[in-house]
Amino acid sequence: MEKLLGALIDGVAFGCVYALLAVGLTLAYKTSGVFNIAFGVQAFASGAIYYQLHVNDGWGILPAFIISVIIVAPLIGAILDRFLFRHLRSAPSMARLITALGLLVAIPQIVLLKFNQTEATRPTGIVPGGDVPYHIFGATLSRDQLSIMVCAVIVAVGLVLVFRYTALGIRMRAVVESPRMAELAGTDADRIGTAAWMLSSLVAGLAGVLLPTVTSQVGDIYYTTLLTAAIAATVLGSLTSIPLAFFGAIGLGVVQELLNRYLPTNSVLASNLRPSLPFVVLFLVLILSPRLRNKRELTDPLSSVDPPPPAPAAGQRSRELTIGTRVAGVLFGLGIGYYVFFHGNASVVGQGIQVVIYSIIFCSIVVITGIAGEVSFAQATFAGIGGFASAQLSSSAGMSVIFTIIIGGLIAAAVGAMLAIPALRLGGIFLTLATYAFALFFDNVIVSLSWVSGGLFPVVAPRPQLGSIDFASDRSFLVLCLVFLVIVGVIVMQVRSGTTGRYLSAVRGSEVAAASVGISPTRARITAFALSAGIAGVGGALLASYEGHANKIDYNATLGLFWVVIVVTLGSRTVEGAIQAALGFVLFSARVLPDWIPWIINHVQPFLHVDSLPNAVQFIFFGFGALTYAKHQEGILEANKVKSLAWVQGKIDRFKSGGRTKPGAAAVDTPGAAP
C-alpha cells in the first residue's frame, strides 16, 4: 500500500512535469500553428538561467525566478514570434517544423557558450526547503513535488479557462486559423500572435525551472528527452486538447513509475522497457490513435493574399550554359580530387573520405525530403543500422565486407519500410514524429544490446577486400567510397527523373489527386522510405568500415537532427546539395572553425588573437541557417546558384541578340488571367 502510494505520488509528480511541457506544447500549437519541437530547449534556457542566478550567483529565489521565467522566457517567445514565426504563418507546416528544428539545434549551444551544464548538479526548485517531506499514509511527498503539481494544475486549468471563456482565447484561436480573416474582424493579429507566443514561452520557462528537481541535473539532454514523453501526451490530445494532454501526461508519469517499482530490477524487460516507455508510447499513440487519422490541417482561406514565391524555373537555361556549368563542376571536382589524392596528407585524405561518405548518407535525405517531401529524423538511425549490421556480419560471421556493406543497406531499407508501413498513413508532421520516436527508441534501447553494438566494446568493422585488391589504405578506400557515391548519386538522379520521382512529386503536389489517377500514395512513400533508409545504411556501413568499428555516437539521433538541418539548409533537392552539405558538415569542424576563420581573423587585424572557435559555432551557424528554409526550400546554395545562373543566362541572351531584347525573358502569366 505504501509502496503503491509512493509510486503514485512520485508518478504524478513526474507526470506533472510532462504535463507542463505537454500543455505548453499544445498551447504553442493551438495558438501559433507551430509544432514547437524547440519547446524543450526554450525550457532549458530558463532552467539554465535560473540555476546560474540562484545557485551559482547566489540570488534569492524570487528575483532569479522573475528574471528567468517572468522576463526572459516570454522575451524569447516574443523574439521568436517577431523575427521568425510571424513571417511563416502562411508557410507550409513543414517549413515551420524545420525552423523549430533549427532552433532546437542552435539554442542549447548558445546557452552552453556561457553555462557549464556538467557542473549544474543538485538544482533547487522554486520553493524554499524543497526537499522537506510531507508524510501521507507512510508515503512521502516533498515540497518540490507539491510545487510542481500545484503549478501544473494551475497552468492547465488556467489555460482551459482562458481558451474557453475569454476574448483573448477566442482571438488566439481565430488568429491561428486565419490571421487575415481575424484582421478583417478587427483583431490585431500580430499582437495576438505575440501574446500567444509569450504565453506559451512562459509555460516553457516555468517547466524549465521546475524540471531539474526531478532530473537532479540541468542538462539540455534531459529537456529533449522529457519533451518526447510530453509529445506523446500532446499527441494523445491530438495536439489541440489541453485536458487530454494533461491527463495523458500524468498517466504516462504514473505508468512509468509503477514499472519502475514493480518490475524486477534486473530483468531484461525492466532494463529495456522503463527507459523506452515514452518513445514506445509516442510511437504507439501515433500509429494507433484514431483521432489523428482524419486530422486535416485547416487551411487559411485567405492564404492566397501572400502566395508563396513561385518555384524557381530550372528549365529555362540554355544548353550551352547547362553544359558549361556541368563541365566547370566536374573540373572543379576533379581538381579537388587530384589534390586530395596525390598531395593530401593523411588527415586531408581522411577528411576526403568523410566528405564522400557523408555525401552518400546525405543523399538519403535528398530522397526522403528533397524528392518525397517528407522529413525523417531517423536517418542517423538508418545509417547506424547499416553500420552495425555490416560490422556484425563481417566480424562475427566473417562475410566479405563489400557484401556486408550492401547487406547493411538492405537491412536498413527493410527496417525503413517496416517503420514506414504503420506510420505512413499519418503523413506530414506526425510521420516525422514517428521517425523521431523510433530514433530515440533505437538510441536508448536497441543500441545497448550486445548483438547490435557489441556492448561495451564497439564492434569491429574491417576494411573491405575485393579479390586481390585490399582497401586497407585510406587512399584506396577513398576510391572505393567514391565509386559508391557515384553509384548512389546516379541512382538518386535516375529515380528523381523516373517513374518513382514523378509519382512522389505527384503525391507531394496533391495526395488526393495522385490517388485519383491510381497512384497509391502509401506505396510511393514506402518506396521512398526504403530507398532512403537503404542509402543511409550503405553510408553508415562505409563509415563504420572507415573508422574500423561501428561507433554508436556516430549514429546518435540528435546528430541525425543536425544532418537534416544542414542538408535542408544547403540544398536538399539535388545530389550536389548533398555533397555541399557533406563538405560543410565535415570541414566546418575539421578545418573552418579551428584553422580557417582564426587565420582570417588573425591576418586581417592585429589587435585580437583567436586560436580556435568552439565547435558549438557550427551548430549555431547551421541552426540559424535552417531558419532560411522557409524562404528557400531548395536550399540557400541552390537558390543562389539558380539566381546567379539566371543572371548569366540573361547576359548570354543579351549578347546573342545584340542587346535588343529585354532581359529576363521568363514571362509568367498573372494568376487567373484568361489564356
Give how many residues touch other proteins by CB under 8 A.
66
8's grid cell: 503514485
672 is a site residue for other proteins (CB under 8 A): yes
456 is a site residue for other proteins (CB under 8 A): no
- Is the CB of 302 or the CB of 648 nearer to other proteins? 302
Q: Please, which of residues 521-550 interact with other proteins by CB under 8 A? A: 521, 527, 531
Give least dist CB 489 to other proteins, A.
12
510 is a site residue for other proteins (CB under 8 A): yes
Residue among 34, 151, 495, 565 that touches other proteins (CB under 8 A): 495
- Is the CB of 221 or the CB of 314 nearer to other proteins? 314
Alpha carbons 15 and 226: distance in angstroms, whole number? 10
Q: 136 - beta bridge partners? A: 139
637 is a site residue for other proteins (CB under 8 A): no
518 is a site residue for other proteins (CB under 8 A): yes
517 is a site residue for other proteins (CB under 8 A): yes
319 is a site residue for other proteins (CB under 8 A): no
Beta strands at 139-142 and 465-466: parallel, antiparallel or unpaired: unpaired
- Is the CB of 217 or the CB of 240 nearer to other proteins? 240
Q: What does the angle CA 222 – CA 620 – CA 209 come to, to the nearest 5 degrees?
A: 30
Span of 39-47, 208-216, 393-401, 511-519 interacting with other proteins by CB under 8 A: 511-519
| CB 19 within 8 Å of CB 251 | no
117's grid cell: 551544464
> Where is 366: in which H helix or E strand?
none
Q: Please, which of residues 276-315 interact with other proteins by CB under 8 A? A: 298, 301-302, 304-307, 309-311, 313, 315
224 is a site residue for other proteins (CB under 8 A): no
486 is a site residue for other proteins (CB under 8 A): no
Please, where are the H alpha helices in 52-92? Answer: 61-65, 73-83
Q: What does the angle CA 588 – CA 590 – CA 594 come to, to the nearest 5 degrees?
A: 85
Give least dist CB 27 to other proteins, A.
15
512 is a site residue for other proteins (CB under 8 A): yes
Alpha carbons 352 and 375: distance in angstroms, whole number? 28
Alpha carbons 375 and 561: distance in angstroms, whole number? 10
Residue among 473, 520, 640, 657 that touches other proteins (CB under 8 A): 520
Dihedral angle of Cα 15, 21, 25, 28, to the nearest 10 degrees: 130
318 is a site residue for other proteins (CB under 8 A): no
Alpha carbons 109 and 426: distance in angstroms, whole number? 32
Q: Which residues contact residue 386 at a Cβ distance below 8 angstroms, ignoring those fewer than 6 apart?
A: 405, 408, 409, 411, 412, 536, 537, 538, 539, 540, 541
673 is a site residue for other proteins (CB under 8 A): yes
- Is the CB of 9 or the CB of 94 nearer to other proteins? 94
- Is the CB of 467 or the CB of 518 nearer to other proteins? 518
- Is the CB of 167 or the CB of 456 nearer to other proteins? 167
| CB 237 within 8 Å of CB 78 | no
- Is the CB of 505 or the CB of 589 nearer to other proteins? 505
Q: Please, which of residues 161-190 interact with other proteins by CB under 8 A? A: 167, 170-171, 173-174, 176-178, 180-190
Burial 200-235 (b: 16+ CB within 10 A, else e): bbbbbbbbbbbbbbbbeebbbebbbbbbbbbbbbbb
- Contacts with other proteins, residue ranges (CB under 8 A): 167, 170-171, 173-174, 176-178, 180-190, 298, 301-302, 304-307, 309-311, 313, 315, 491, 494-495, 497-503, 505-506, 508-510, 512-521, 527, 531, 668-675
